[in-house]
Structure 1
Amino acid sequence: MLTADEDFEGYVIDATLGRGGYATVYRAHRAGDPDHPVALKILDEDQRHEDQTARLRREFEFAHEIHHPHVITVYEHGPGWLTMELIDGGTSSALPGVTEKLTVLAQVADALDHIHHQGIVHCDVKPSNILATKDFSRAVLTDFGVAYTVAETVDWRYAQLEASLHYTAPELLHGRPPSALTDQYALAVTAVELLLGAPPFTAENPMELVDAHLNQPVPDYSDKIDWVPRIFDSVLGRALAKIPESRYDTCAELIAQLTHALD
């Protein structure tokens, strides 16, 4: 790990922002330019092998191609590192209320629909990959390290699946390639987790979680939570349909329906 005031590839480290499974993110600035901080993501020393460096490069290349206010902006990259805009409020899990959460979800839905129109599937939508500003006015979708283009999914194999299991759509578990509808499923799971505190399907081990995605019905939250109306269950049931073609046409439509249900 780097410490404050250390130099790295022309950047000066200000502080550590967070650590993940394979990388550390720092607040940093270009030497001589402290008024323009960035987020500097560096692979951990023991993770700088070919597949992880390729994943980080892929993360940069996808984000660099996308121009949308709710997709993270990236600046530079090198072997095992990249820089991106600094979003100062942390992940979406820190959002304080239903209104703020629905606003952020709508922004991310718009970003997802945008990348889907460009033929890109994110493949790892979850709360930790949604960052928000401190005033909760803006959110961005980040981490395109396992994203795919539609063209690449032609030769899709189940072994390529790297998505987080709690957010994985049933069709992926059946070996089908990812699509806009699999991102929508993950967004719906994310919405449930943000709004109600936990994802709809939980289990003690991975096999039970896979079975839940494939076979268990979507929970009826209106029977358990007083402030959740029955229409919320209907909206969620469609977004988390086992058959992807039964879901909403767009991510924006899903979040609009959830917002209407909770008005």
Structure 2
Amino acid sequence: MRFGGYEPDELLGHGGYASVYRAHHRDGGADVALKVARAHRHRLAREFAFAARLDHPHIVRMHRLGDGWLTMELARGGTVTHLPGREDRLRALTEIAGALDHAHRRGIVHCDVKPSNILLSRDDPQSPALLVDFGSAHALAEDVWHHPGRADASLPYAAPELLTGHPPSAATDEYALACVCVELVIGTPPFAADTAMDLVDQHLHAPVPRYHGRVDGIPHAFDSIVAKAMAKDPDARYRSCTEFMGLIARALSR
């Protein structure tokens, strides 16, 4: 009764400020994902508002917003890391690139692109990928009124401009997508460190790692494409996430 007639059935996972359950409605219908805030309820409302403004096959569909909870489309296939093959992983990332470009055209930057926010709609390697969790999202129009300060992003995928308190842009999501791409193709994100301070320093100052010659099957073009998508200067990156992933897919198919 606390959740507008939705009843939790199974805990699916915990995030930084909320828990997600598989749930059903007492009056029937398909199962949904029920997200319940443990803190920062305003982020839940923000997440719902941003995602509900978007209509794309690879962005999770929102259903209802309550007092400290929301319901949305249930993704049954786990995260993109569950995909066993490179081809399927690249297909999923290409779908997410299209979803990000759709959001950017509508003035929304996700600001927290990472593997755990890319889910599969079904337990099937050919299942569509879904971009979830707009709790850290940013509206470009907000820059007209105030400086956003440091965004709440996941450090292994955080673009330099986020870490230095500059306003995010579409290029910010492209940087994060490039980090995710490296992780799914190579096995680890581009930068890793024992402390958060060291990881931030690498994003800000270290050159993007090169993998050609160190990892089997990685062409020189892969390094060049990733380096441009992860340029320290956002203006030096590709014009869209779709352009970046298109180049990556071609480089790895040769």
TM-score range, shorter chain: over 0.9
Is 1:83 the counterpart of 2:71? The answer is yes
Is 1:21 the counterpart of 2:16? The answer is yes
Q: CA deviation at 1:21?
A: 2.5
SS in 1 for 2:193: coil
Encode CA deviations 1:122-146: one digit per residue, 9 max, x unaligned: 1111111111121132011111111
User: Does structure 1 conserve the Cα–Cα contact (< 8 Å) formed by 2:148 and 2:167?
Assistant: yes
Name the residue aligned to 1:194. 184
Letter in 1 for 2:240: T
Letter in 1 for 2:147: W
User: Which segment drifts farther, 148-157 or 178-187?
Assistant: 148-157
Q: CA deviation at 1:194?
A: 1.4
Write the distance in 1 (CA, Å) between the matches of 2:45 and 2:148. Answer: 21
Stretches of structure 1 that go unaligned for 5 or more consecutive residues are 1-5
User: Does structure 2 conserve the Cα–Cα contact (< 8 Å) formed by 1:14 and 1:28?
Assistant: yes
Write the distance in 2 (CA, Å) between the matches of 1:22 and 1:256. Answer: 34
Name the residue aligned to 1:42. 36
User: Which residue of 211, 215, 218 corresponds with 1:221?
Assistant: 211
Write the distance in 1 (CA, Å) between the matches of 2:250 and 2:24. Answer: 42
Task: Indicate the RMSD between aligned Cα atoms, in angstroms.
Answer: 1.4
| Stretches (4+) displaced over 6 A | none
Q: CA deviation at 1:7?
A: 7.1
Encode CA deviations 1:28-54: one digit per residue, 9 max, x unaligned: 111031x5100101123xx2xxxx111
Letter in 2 for 1:82: L
Write the distance in 1 (CA, Å) between the matches of 2:163 and 2:31. Answer: 41
Write the distance in 1 (CA, Å) between the matches of 2:242 and 2:54. Answer: 18
User: Does structure 2 conserve the Cα–Cα contact (< 8 Å) formed by 1:153 and 1:178?
Assistant: no
Encode CA deviations 1:162-220: one digit per residue, 9 max, x unaligned: 11111111122233200000110001001111121111011111111111011111111
Is 1:148 the counterpart of 2:138? The answer is yes
Name the residue aligned to 1:94. 82
Q: With structure 2 as the length reference, what TM-score do the two structures score?
A: 0.94
User: Does structure 1 conserve the Cα–Cα contact (< 8 Å) formed by 2:3 and 2:66?
Assistant: no
Is 1:233 the counterpart of 2:223? The answer is yes
Letter in 1 for 2:34: L
Write the distance in 2 (CA, Å) between the matches of 1:230 and 1:252. Answer: 20
Name the residue aligned to 1:3. none
Stretches of structure 2 that go unaligned for 5 or more consecutive residues are none
